[in-house]
């Protein structure tokens, strides 16, 4: 368990769900991890529990709202000043506004805007400043968390969310092509329905939950731990020849 020794990884949205599982696993694989989240209390708690598990100096928390460019820029500056410049950035933070995001005729502009601000603009800002930082240090690996809703009409009940995720798949390819020669790789991971605090609206509703699980060939919901392995692969040199690709970890959902 030391595939990420001497790496420093910044993970947005790491105070909860998929990001938290990935951060804990990265620390167990030998990386130093930065828990970057707008929820400062939860980010601190996550960093403390990872430090307790993986040892002193393995995790630190940074409070950042990824939709705020000044905050993103200052997070990277703070890490550089502390000699924690990341060579891996997992652009994972995102929102899905259950009960408000819907089929397009029912979507308020404000709901659209809030979703775009975090998922699309926030990820754009995370990746922009990750690339600037990696250009200065000689390269690195960036992974964006996408979604099956951005691949097909699967997410038609969530117009804003699905559209932002489709945009992120495009961002992955565009940035990968632009910076491959600089040693910066960019890939996306596409989890299917994964039980985290984001989707409690679904997991608390047995009928909706089983309707979704019935569309997953492996016959179960994903867990945050299901996403860890592909993230370790993409963060490590094992994936040295992979860039601009979308990797589904979805129990076969997008194969249908
Ligand atoms: N859970 C799923 O079924 C599923 C499926 C496909 C993709 N995803 C994607 O995975 C990613 C992680 O989702 P999750 O399920 O772990 O959700 P989660 O709600 O458990 O965690 C999301 C984290 O992001 C943080 N966050 C939200 N907005 C932020 C902002 N503006 N700035 C900084 N931090 C912010 C939250 O505080 C939270 O800690 C998201 O991009 C989501 O769209 C989730």
- Percentage of residues in the chain with pLDDT exceeding 90? 98
> Mutation test of ligand 1: which of 196, 209, 221, 251 has the most ligand atoms closer than 8 Å to its C-beta?
196
Q: What is the helix (H) or strand (E) element at residue 140, kind and residue range?
A: strand 140-145
Report the domain count for the chain: 1
In a domain? residue 232 = yes
Please state the pTM of the whole predicted model: 0.98
Task: Please indicate, yes or no, if residue 199 is contained in any of the structural domains.
Answer: yes
Give tens-digit pLDDT for 100-149. 999 999 999 999 999 999 999 999 999 999 999 999 999 999 999 999 99
> Does the residue 31 lie in any domain?
yes
Nearest to 60 by CA among 84, 91, 29, 38: 84
Cβ of 243 below 6 Å from ligand 1: no
* Ligand 1 atom 42, closest CA: 94
CATH number for the domain harbouring residue 142: 3.40.50.720
Q: Specify the residue with its C-alpha closest to ligand 1, atom 25.
A: 13
**pLDDT tens per residue across span 57-99:** 999 999 999 999 999 999 999 999 999 999 999 999 999 999 9
Residues classed as catalytic: 161
CA nearest ligand 1 atom 2, residue: 194
Is 1's pLDDT higher than 80? no
Q: Is 19 in the pocket of ligand 1 (CB under 6 A)?
A: yes
- Cβ-in-10-Å burial (0-12, 13-18, 19+) of 24 comes to buried
Residue 117 lies in a domain: yes
Q: What are the residues whose beta carbons fall under 8 Å from the beta carbon of 58, sequence distance 6 or more? A: 27, 31, 32, 33, 50, 51
Instruction: Give, for ligand 1, the residue of 10, 11, 17 to mutate: max count of ligand atoms closer than 8 Å to Cβ.
Output: 17
Residue 1 lies in a domain: no
Q: Which domain holds residue 203?
A: 8-255
* Residue whose tokens read 């690709």: 245
Distances in Å between the Cα of 226 and the Cα atoms of 14, 93, 189, 232 are 15, 17, 11, 11
Q: Which atom of ligand 1 is nearest to the CA of 68?
A: 31
Give the ligand 1 atom nearest the CA of 65.
32
* Residue 13: C-alpha distances to residues 92, 144, 184 (Å): 6, 12, 22
Residue 201 lies in a domain: yes
Nearest residue (CA) to ligand 1, atom 37: 39
pLDDT score of 154 more than 90: no
Identify the helix (H) or strand (E) that includes residue 33. strand 32-37
User: 198: Cβ below 6 Å to ligand 1?
Assistant: yes
CB-based contacts of 132, cutoff 8 Å, min separation 6: 76
**C-alpha span between 57 and 64 (Å, rounded):** 20
Question: Is 3 inside any structural domain?
Answer: no
Q: What's the Cα-to-Cα distance from 125 to each of 43, 128, 148, 254, rounded to whole Å?
A: 20, 5, 22, 28
Summary mean pLDDT of the chain: 97
Measured in angstroms, how far is the CA atom of residue 181 from the centroid of ligand 1? 31
92 lines ligand 1 (CB under 6 A): yes
Q: Is the CB of 252 under 6 A from ligand 1?
A: no
In a domain, 15, yes or no: yes
Ligand 1 proximity of 12 Cβ (cutoff 6 Å): yes
- Which residues make Cβ contacts (< 8 Å) with residue 113, sequence separation at least 6? none
Pocket test of ligand 1: the residue of 11, 12, 18, 97 to mutate, having most ligand atoms within 8 Å of its CB, is 18
- Region 20-32: what's the mean pLDDT? 98
């Amino acid at each position: 368990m030391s595939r990420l020794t001497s790496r420093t990884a910044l993970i947005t949205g790491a105070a909860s769900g998929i990001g938290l599982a990935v951060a804990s696993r990265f620390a167990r694989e030998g990386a130093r991890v930065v828990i970057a989240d707008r929820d400062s209390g939860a980010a601190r708690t996550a960093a403390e529990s990872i430090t307790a598990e993986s040892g002193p100096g393995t995790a630190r928390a940074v409070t950042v709202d990824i939709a705020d460019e000044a905050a993103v820029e200052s997070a990277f500056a703070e890490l550089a000043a502390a000699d924690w410049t990341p060579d891996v950035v997992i652009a994972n933070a995102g929102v899905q506004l259950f009960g408000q995001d819907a089929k397009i005729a029912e979507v308020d502009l404000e709901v659209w805007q809030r979703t775009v601000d975090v998922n699309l603009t926030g990820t754009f800002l995370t990746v922009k400043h990750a690339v600037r930082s990696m250009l200065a240090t000689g390269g690195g690996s960036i992974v964006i968390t996408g979604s099956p809703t951005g691949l097909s009409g699967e997410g038609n009940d969530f117009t804003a969310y699905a559209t932002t995720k489709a945009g992120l798949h495009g961002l992955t390819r565009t940035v990968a092509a632009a910076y491959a020669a600089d040693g910066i790789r960019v890939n996306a991971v596409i989890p299917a329905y994964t039980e985290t605090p984001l989707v409690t609206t679904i997991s608390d509703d047995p009928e909706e939950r089983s309707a979704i699980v019935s569309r997953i060939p492996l016959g179960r919901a994903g867990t945050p731990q299901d996403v860890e392995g592909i993230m370790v692969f993409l963060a490590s040199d094992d994936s040295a020849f992979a860039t601009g690709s979308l990797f589904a970890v979805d129990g076969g959902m997008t194969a249908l």
